[in-house]
Chain A
């Protein structure tokens, strides 16, 4: 168990448009989910912590108005990249941990490849 699903797996959009990425915990509930970004040949960078029913917590340097996060249920968090630009092209990965299991491992989705043209 503990499967995290992301959709879409890849998306191409034009500069200036917005893109929504979904992250679902398929067989467990997750009060908290985490969004990462990964550029080619680099490590994963934590962008924000998504909290069910409340505002997300953003890491320093991540624009909250550009990367909108909504965590409306215990199994779904969404990341919307607003007014996307080519520099936003990256691999976006979400992760989740079972609610109430603070020491359990993070489970990661398979990522979303965003290309902004």
Chain B
């Protein structure tokens, strides 16, 4: 199962774009890359999923290079409510996640 590596924490300010990169060197050929957001004492919430290149939805963009060994979650114009832990998954295994702190 794919193991992922992310920065442990990131700080940002309201209105900024935040990019969180995840390394997944041994992701399986068939696995999609999925990003989740988790608030304290809640289950993870789906943000976005992709296989290759770029995917965009109403809340985020996901960039995946051709070799698929990494992916970058892009959150445009973050707000205080985006303060949370963000996880990337290759399949079922969670990495340590990135704790994003958005300041006013």
Q: Which residues of A contact B (CB under 8 A)?
A: 4, 6, 34, 36, 42-46, 49, 91, 93, 95, 103, 105-111, 113
- Determine whether B34 belongs to the interface, using a CB cutoff of 8 Å to chain A: yes
How far does the alpha carbon of A106 sit from the alpha carbon of B94 in the complex, in Å? 12
| Total B residues in contact with A, Cβ cutoff 8 Å | 20
Whether B94 contacts A45 by the Cβ 8 Å rule is yes
A-B contact count (CB 8 A): 47
Chain A residue at minimum C-beta to C-beta distance from B96 = A43
Main secondary structure of the interface of B (DSSP, over half): loop
How far does the alpha carbon of A49 sit from the alpha carbon of B1 in the complex, in Å? 14
Whether A108 contacts B43 by the Cβ 8 Å rule is yes
Kindly name the residue among B41, B43, B45, B46 whose own CB sees the greatest number of chain A CB atoms within 10 A: B43
Residues of B within 8 A of A107 (CB): 46
Chain A residue at minimum C-beta to C-beta distance from B95 = A43
How far does the alpha carbon of A4 sit from the alpha carbon of B44 in the complex, in Å? 11
Residues of A within 8 A of B49 (CB): 105
